[in-house]
């Protein structure tokens, strides 16, 4: 059974993890689990420029995402393209708003990672799907 648009919005506001699928140079998929923030139109992800997922996105911006709550048998998936919204220190506020969903001290968490080659990514879905078996 599909989720209604308000149910999708409520589900994506919960602090689940997101599985990000990118495309490797040889065409095979690469999956990684990340923290995210959903703003009603786009997924926001903070990562480092030296990560495989970012290098893949630089080469081919097409991505797929899955936000899953296995215990509730509920998921939302989306396809779209990732774009760079900010780099380095300019990515701090975006990263902070993501981290704040998952830890009590986002400033401390990011302070411990100061100097990392941070990048803030925006994924605006072209298509979304949802399902739940828990009704």
**pLDDT tens-digit profile of 72-125?**
899 999 999 999 999 988 988 899 999 999 999 988 888 777 777 889 999 999
Q: By the 8 A CB rule, do 97 and 17 touch? A: no
Work out the angle at residue 46's Cα, subtended by the Cα atoms of residues 118 and 54, and round it to the nearest 5 degrees: 75
**pLDDT tens-digit profile of 34-50?**
999 999 999 999 998 99
pLDDT for res 27:
97
Per-residue pLDDT, averaged over 59-84, amounts to 96
Written as one string, the DSSP assignment of 94-128 is HHHHHHTTT-S-HHHHHHTTTTS-EEEEEEEEEEE
Fold of 5-125: Pnp Oxidase; Chain A (2.30.110)
The model's pTM: 0.93
């Amino acid at each position: 059974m599909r989720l209604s648009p308000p149910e999708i919005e409520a589900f994506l506001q919960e602090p689940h993890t997101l599985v990000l699928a990118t495309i490797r140079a040889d065409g095979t998929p690469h999956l990684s689990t990340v923290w995210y923030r959903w703003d009603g139109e786009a997924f926001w992800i903070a990562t480092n420029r030296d990560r495989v997922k970012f290098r893949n996105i630089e080469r081919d911006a097409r991505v797929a995402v899955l936000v899953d709550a296995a215990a509730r048998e509920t998921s939302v998936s989306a396809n779209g393209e990732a774009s760079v919204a900010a780099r380095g220190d300019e990515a701090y506020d975006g990263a902070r708003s993501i981290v704040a969903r998952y830890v009590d001290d986002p400033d401390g968490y990011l302070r411990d990672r100061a100097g990392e080659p941070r990048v803030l990514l925006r994924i605006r879905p072209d298509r979304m799907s949802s399902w739940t078996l828990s009704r």
